[in-house]
């Protein structure tokens, strides 16, 4: 099944010290690894605070594409510090056929992640909810660490009710 889309959702996740919580707005772009969406990458990826690379542990080709997906993201997103941009890798569908269909070992995936700067790695079953929350906790923490606080411009307050300037006669608009 192919999926693609955007789903903005406000989510509450614990902060790193686990005593406070932070409300985060999530925008998740799922291109399902399809080449037809590569030309839209710049619009999708600019300003991202984290990139999640998901592959199917039962399909070697999806694992083999991780490097291409990572490099394409870095090209399209143009982060200011590509060597330290936060990625998370998820090996999904660990539930399929009781794990008997698996072709990518956890060891192989972890080795790939280590070779790319110790990218956090999770094995999940979206169907059964295994490690999904833990993966998203990590994604949220990485996004919070990498996202820069934007300064909000607030102009000086203007009191229009008590204006001391004389008003022109005639039209008050």
Q: Is 26 exposed, middle or buried (0-12, 13-18, 19+ CB in 10 A)?
A: middle
**Per-residue pLDDT in tens (0 to 9) along the chain, 173 residues:** 333 343 444 444 444 444 456 666 676 766 666 666 566 666 677 788 889 999 999 999 999 999 998 998 898 888 889 999 999 999 999 999 988 999 999 999 999 999 999 999 999 998 898 999 899 889 888 888 876 543 333 445 545 455 455 555 555 54
Judge whether 86 and 142 are in contact, CB under 8 Å. yes
Q: Which residues contact 120 (CB under 8 A, 6 or more apart)?
A: 87, 88, 89, 113, 138, 142
**Backbone phi and psi for residue 77, each to the nearest 5 degrees, phi listed first:** -80, -30
Q: What does pTM read for this prediction? A: 0.71
Q: Would you state the torsion angle of the CA atoms of residues 58, 117, 15, 77, taken in this order, to the nearest 10 degrees?
A: -80
Q: Is 88 exposed, middle or buried (0-12, 13-18, 19+ CB in 10 A)?
A: buried
Q: Match 């839209």 to its residue by tokens.
A: 40
| C-alpha torsion sign, points 110, 116, 121, 127 | negative
Q: What is the pLDDT of residue 30?
A: 67
Angle at CA of residue 71, ends 65 and 74, nearest 5°: 140
H or E element in which residue 92 lies: strand 87-92
Superfamily grouping for domain 5-146: P-loop containing nucleotide triphosphate hydrolases (3.40.50.300)
Give the span between the Cα atoms of 87 and 70, in whole angstroms: 8
Q: What is the pLDDT of residue 171?
A: 52
| Domain spans, the chain | 5-146
Q: Match 């030309």 to its residue by tokens.
A: 39
């Amino acid at each position: 099944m192919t999926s693609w889309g955007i789903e903005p959702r406000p989510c509450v996740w614990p902060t790193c010290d686990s005593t406070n919580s932070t409300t985060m707005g999530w925008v998740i772009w799922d291109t399902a690894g399809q080449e037809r969406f590569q030309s839209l990458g710049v619009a999708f990826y600019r300003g991202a605070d984290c990139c999640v690379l998901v592959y199917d542990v039962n399909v070697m080709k999806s694992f083999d594409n991780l490097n291409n997906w990572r490099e394409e993201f870095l090209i399209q997103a143009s982060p200011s510090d590509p060597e330290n941009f936060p990625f998370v890798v998820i090996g999904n569908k660990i539930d399929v056929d009781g794990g008997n269909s698996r072709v990518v070992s956890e060891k192989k995936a972890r080795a790939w992640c280590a070779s790319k700067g110790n990218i956090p790695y999770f094995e999940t079953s979206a169907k059964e909810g295994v490690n999904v929350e833990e993966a998203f906790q990590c994604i949220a923490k990485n996004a919070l660490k990498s996202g820069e606080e934007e300064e909000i411009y607030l102009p000086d307050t203007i009191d229009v009710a008590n204006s001391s300037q004389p008003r022109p006669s005639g039209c008050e608009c």
